Structure 1
Amino acid sequence: MTKLSVNINKIATLRNSRGGDLPNVLEAALNAERFGAEGITVHPRPDERHIRYSDVYDLKRAIKTELNIEGNPIERFTELVLDVVPAQVTLVPDAHDAITSNSGWDTRTHQAFLREVVSAFKAKGIRTSIFLDPDVEMVRYAAECGTDRIELYTEAYASGYAADRERAIRPYAEAAREAVRLGLGVNGGHDLNLENLRYFARTIPGLLEVSIGHALISDAIYLGMENTIQLYLRELKGEA
């Protein structure tokens, strides 16, 4: 069974747009867990335009499921993760001004750096995942970095799903098969939604976790958070 980790960045974006503490990020995370989410994901950026570093500490103290912290391992981010010690850290090569994640790592070019970062996190007992485009070569170099998992950047799959889902998913399935062969866990995230999630989950071998934020929070505006999370879990289970 593939786990659903709910990314609550958009809750923080809404809070920050008005000031104050409404909606409350911690309450949203606890409700997501209560409604069936099996993990909480946050992606703190240097300007703290959505999730704040203080939010991460609050979440670690309160949630019962796995906390996954995503981000570019600059010094401040690395210090945060080593201090909080989440269940998982996902390394994402974001530029400081990126609106959202838009590419995976070149694990060949940055192998020495990634190996050092992965080693530091794993020494603290933190499971590591490297954000990748669906490229078999990048998977192989990721394995050489010592990571536990990869997270497949699924934007291209989501964009191509309506036109030809088999073609869109092919490189992802190939990359996942190589990851499994190399002993790596496979996660997925970015633009997965109620339309394309089921096919992705049933086609990708070894898929352990998906991290979904923007689409899920958007659906919750119309459908309610509890109902929305249950709908996403149903898609992952392949239920009618």
Structure 2
Amino acid sequence: MNGRTDQPLRLGVNIDHVATLRNARGGSDPDPARAARLAQQAGADGITLHLREDRRHILDADLSAVIDAVTLPINLEMAATQEMQRIALSHRPHAVCLVPERREERTTEGGLEVAGDDNRLREYITPLRDAGARVSLFIAPDEAQVEAAARVGAQVVELHVGAYAEHCAAGDDAARNAELRRLFAAAALADALGLEVHAGHGLNFDNVGPIAAIPEVVELNIGHFLIGEAVFIGLDAAIREMRRKMLLARM
């Protein structure tokens, strides 16, 4: 494989925080399945949702409803637990992205520790792949983690760009550029090892450009910002503007 900036760049829209809004009050509104349909109409390439162990936003019924609502590929983010494996094998989403998960965190903090957990993750991944799911690991842009992801049988890595996003927000150009170099190097290594490269976490209109320009990255997964921006300009407009900025950066 060799990364090229003329590769198509897909946008996966994470609808978790539509469910967060619904759960803040209870009831059925706003509906995550409706958000998934709107995202599809706006040109999203896939729908991402994270079924957490504590069910703080997406619920089991939402997963079924979203699968029924759209024809787009579904990317199920989940912890590497037996419960989640059973759910994934039952629902058979297009892709499964294994993420670290701690109950006290607000959002997914840091990447999955793949290195040192090779045997367990290899055994965990095998039945998911056998069922037809593309298995992705959400990891830090670290050489050891990328190499471990290839060893355990993942087909995809999603690079955690949260540190980059934080440095952008803080206006720390030196730290931002250093993190960008790490991301470019990790993406190149992953591509050389035969892994498809995705990226996500903390991306917005202002910081997406340099990540979209990484040649080996073929998919960005963006959620919180798009759902927040939808409050002001609507989900359709938010998705279309994000796609525009991604395309400009790629060109």
Q: Which of 199, 205, 224 matches 1:194? A: 205
Give SS of 2:210's match: helix
Q: Give the structure 2 partner of residue 172 of structure 1.
A: 183
What residue identity is the alignment partner of 1:12?
A: A
Alpha-carbon offset, residue 97 of structure 1: 3.5
Greater shift in the superposed pair: 113-122 or 179-188: 113-122
Give SS of 2:122's match: helix
The answer to whether the Cα contact below 8 Å between 2:99 and 2:108 also exists between their aligned partners in 1 is: yes
> Which of the pair has the greater relative contact order for Cα pairs under 8 Å at 6+ separation?
2
The answer to whether the Cα contact below 8 Å between 2:128 and 2:135 also exists between their aligned partners in 1 is: yes
- Percent identity (aligned): 36
Q: Give the structure 2 partner of residue 163 of structure 1.
A: 172
Query: In 2, Cα distance between the equivalents of 1:157 and 1:201?
Result: 13
Q: Give the structure 1 partner of residue 112 of structure 2.
A: 105
Q: State whether structure 2 residue 94 is matched by structure 1 residue 87.
A: yes
Give SS of 2:178's match: helix
Give SS of 1:238's match: helix
The answer to whether the Cα contact below 8 Å between 1:36 and 1:230 also exists between their aligned partners in 2 is: yes
Unaligned stretches of 5+ residues in structure 1: none
Equivalenced residue count is 239
Unaligned stretches of 5+ residues in structure 2: 1-7
Q: Give the structure 2 partner of residue 216 of structure 1.
A: 226
For residues 82-128 of structure 1, what are the alpha-carbon distances to aligned partners after superposition, in whole Å with 9 as ceiling and x for unaligned? 11111110000112343210011221211111111111110001000
Alpha-carbon offset, residue 178 of structure 1: 0.3
Alpha-carbon offset, residue 163 of structure 1: 2.2
The answer to whether the Cα contact below 8 Å between 1:67 and 1:87 also exists between their aligned partners in 2 is: yes
Q: Give the structure 2 partner of residue 232 of structure 1.
A: 242
How do 1:46-65 residues align onto structure 2 when only pairs under 5 Å count?
A: 46-65=53-72
Q: Give the structure 2 partner of residue 153 of structure 1.
A: 160
TM-score (norm 2): 0.92
Query: In 2, Cα distance between the equivalents of 1:106 and 1:205?
Result: 25
Query: In 2, Cα distance between the equivalents of 1:178 and 1:92?
Result: 20
